[in-house]
Amino acid sequence: MDGDLKAASDIKETDIIFDCPHCGKSLAIDYRGAGLSIKCSDCGNDVQVPIPDGMELEDIDSTNEEQEVLVMHLRKCLNAAQERIELLESAVQELTARRESLEKGRSESMYHMVQVVEKMSLIEESLKTVSSAVSDVATICGRDDE
């Protein structure tokens, strides 16, 4: 069962037991699977098999062919991780540019809002002046009627 997930009845002392970080399912795999990326038997997501504390990949007693397969697999995982890093870095750059654009738009909107508030204050003052003038005219016109 080398590299394969095991049923509960097949678990040995030398197996690595860990939980899927995506769905929480308890998984077990032969110790030679340490460091490999496998699919969870429940959710199907890729899961990295942990390397137990104190264990080094060199500690795995496997054949040269198995070691070569492990190295090729680790290189494949490394390449996939590097591609993911590049995608994430690109996304960060795009989001940073978008944030800067939005911040510039927000600043411009705030500037225009301050101008609108100032103009509204001038309109209010003008309305008070007009209202006062209308009141004065009414008072004057009311005196003429007497």
What are the residue ranges spanned by the domains of the chain?
1-59, 62-129
Share of the chain above pLDDT 90, in %: 47
**Residues in the chain, pLDDT under 50:** 1-4
Q: What is the CA radius of gyration of the chain?
A: 37
Contacts of 20 (CB under 8 A, 6+ apart): 27, 40, 42, 43, 45, 47
What pLDDT score was predicted for residue 132? 95
Q: What is the pLDDT of residue 104?
A: 97
Taken in order 51, 57, 63, 65, is the CA torsion positive or negative? positive
pLDDT digits (tens, 9 = 90+) for 116-135: 999 999 999 999 999 999 99
Q: What is the mean pLDDT of the chain?
A: 85
Evaluate whether 40 touches 25 at the Cβ level (below 8 Å): yes
DSSP helix/strand/coil, 5: strand
Q: How high is the pLDDT of residue 144? A: 55
pLDDT in tens, 70-79: 778 888 888 9
